[in-house]
A and B are shown apart, each in its own frame.
Chain A
Amino acid sequence: MNPTAPRQLPNGPGAAAILAAGIGCATLGVFDLASDASPAIGRAFVFWQPTGTLSGVTVCAIVVWLLAWLVLSRRWAERNVNLTGVTLVAFSLLAVGLAFTFPPFMDLLQGK
Chain B
Amino acid sequence: MEISVRDLITVLHGMGFGTLFMMAFSGAIGVIYVTAFVGIQPVASRWTTLMFRFYLISMAALAWLTVLSGAYIIYPWYRAKPPAGTTDLSGFPRSLLLSNPHTAGWHNLGMEWKENVAWFAPIVMTMVAFVFIKYGPQIALHRQLRNAVLGFTAVAFLAAAIAGGFGAFLNKYAPVRGGHEIILFQAD
Q: Which residues of A contact B (CB under 8 A)?
A: 6, 8-9, 11, 13-15, 17-18, 20-21, 24-25, 28-29, 32, 48, 50-52, 54-55, 57-58, 61-62, 65, 83-84, 87, 90-91, 94, 97-98, 101-104
Contacts of B127 in A (CB 8 A): 17-18, 20-21
Whole-angstrom CA separation of A55 from B119 in the bound complex? 12
Are B134's CB and A9's CB within 8 A? yes
CB-contacts of B39-84 with A (<8 A): 67, 71-72, 75-76, 79-80
Contacts of A52 in B (CB 8 A): 79
Are A21's CB and B152's CB within 8 A? yes
Question: Which of A13, A48, A61, A90 contacts B119 (CB under 8 A)?
Answer: A61
How many residues on the B side are at the interface (Cβ–Cβ under 8 A)? 37
Identify the interface centre among A48, A61, A91, A98: most chain B CB within 10 Å of its CB. A98
Q: A17-B127, A55-B71, A65-B123 are in contact. List 14 more A-B contacts (CB 8 A).
A: A6-B138, A9-B134, A13-B134, A14-B131, A14-B135, A14-B145, A17-B131, A17-B134, A18-B149, A21-B124, A51-B76, A58-B71, A58-B116, A90-B148
If A9-B134, A9-B138, A14-B135 touch, whether A25 touches B145 (CB-CB below 8 Å) is no
Whole-angstrom CA separation of A102 from B139 in the bound complex? 33
Task: Jot down 25 A-B pairs with beta carbons below 8 A, ordered by A.
Answer: A8-B141, A11-B144, A14-B135, A14-B145, A15-B145, A17-B127, A17-B130, A18-B145, A18-B152, A21-B124, A21-B126, A21-B127, A25-B120, A28-B120, A29-B116, A50-B79, A54-B75, A58-B71, A87-B144, A87-B147, A98-B117, A98-B120, A98-B155, A101-B117, A103-B109
Are A83's CB and B123's CB within 8 A? no
Whole-angstrom CA separation of A104 from B130 in the bound complex? 34
Question: Which of A8, A29, A54, A61 contacts B71 (CB under 8 A)?
Answer: A54
Classify the interface of chain B: helix, strand, loop or mixed.
helix
Question: Which of B79, B116, B138, B147 contacts A101 (CB under 8 A)?
Answer: B116
- Does B108 sit at the interface, judged by CB under 8 A? yes
Are A25's CB and B123's CB within 8 A? yes
Contacts of A91 in B (CB 8 A): 148, 151
